[in-house]
């Protein structure tokens, strides 16, 4: 919902897991093509299965490769858009079931921005979801790779609640200027908000 794609977009999903983001993007945009890179062999195989089951073998692919190897895996500027739902945590106990997906041992923000900056054409956009407490660090590190924050959405579970997630659009070579948005998942009565229903096509 937050991602904006140009026509015939080439999209790179960094840390693509089982392919969820790519499947959703292909569902709402008939002209995009998505390449996912994923370190976990089991997640990569699940993505291949999901691509086949959804009849998207001509528009989607999954490659089992480390995000840190992206600069050697594609020619520079190969993609119009990058997306990522990366590990959120820099430390703490490793998850027993999803260590690579939750802790950034193999995918730090710098690793992510280096990969995106290499893969994106000039003027291309990187769409990222992350934790609000990492925002300052993320914007500062992205700037070191010439990725300028252009659009920020603060996601809350309900009105007046703390921000639980941030959605950030960064542009390669972008000029300064940041637009702010907010999204509440529920309304004052605790029911799904109008925006939530629109995003998930409810009613």
pLDDT at 87: 86
What pTM does this model have? 0.91
Q: Is the dihedral of CA 115, 129, 146, 33 positive or negative?
A: positive
User: What six digits make up the tokens of 102?
Assistant: 């939750």
pLDDT at 92: 45
Q: Please, are residues 188 and 156 in contact by the beta-carbon 8 Å criterion?
A: no
Measured from the Cβ of residue 196, the count of other Cβ atoms closer than 10 Å reads 16
Pairing label, strands 79-84, 147-156: unpaired
pLDDT at 107: 75
pLDDT at 100: 47
Q: Please, are residues 153 and 182 in contact by the beta-carbon 8 Å criterion?
A: yes
**Residue ranges for the chain with pLDDT beneath 70:** 89-106
d(CA 37, CA 12): 8
Q: Which long-range contacts (CB under 8 A, 24 or more apart) does 45-54 make?
A: 46/17, 46/18, 46/19, 47/16, 47/17, 47/18, 47/19, 47/22, 50/18, 50/19, 50/20, 50/23, 51/19, 51/22, 51/23, 54/23, 54/26
pLDDT at 12: 98
């Amino acid at each position: 919902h937050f991602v904006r794609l140009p026509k015939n977009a080439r999209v790179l999903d960094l840390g693509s897991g089982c392919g969820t983001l790519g499947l959703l993007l292909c569902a709402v945009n008939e002209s995009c093509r998505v390449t996912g890179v994923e370190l976990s062999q089991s997640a990569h195989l699940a993505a291949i299965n999901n691509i086949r089951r959804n009849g998207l073998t001509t528009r989607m692919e999954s490659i089992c490769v480390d995000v840190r190897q992206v600069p050697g895996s594609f020619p520079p500027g190969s993609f119009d858009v990058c997306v990522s739902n990366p590990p959120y945590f820099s430390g703490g106990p490793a998850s027993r079931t999803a260590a690579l997906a939750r802790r950034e041992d193999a995918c730090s923000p710098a690793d992510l921005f280096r990969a995106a900056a290499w893969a994106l054409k000039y003027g291309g956009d990187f769409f990222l979801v992350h934790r609000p407490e990492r925002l300052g660090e993320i914007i500062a590190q992205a700037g070191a790779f010439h990725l300028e924050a252009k659009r920020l959405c603060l996601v809350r579970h309900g009105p007046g609640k703390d921000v639980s997630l941030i959605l950030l659009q960064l542009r390669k070579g972008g000029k300064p200027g940041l637009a702010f948005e907010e999204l509440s998942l529920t309304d004052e009565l605790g029911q799904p908000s109008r925006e939530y229903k629109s995003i998930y096509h409810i009613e």
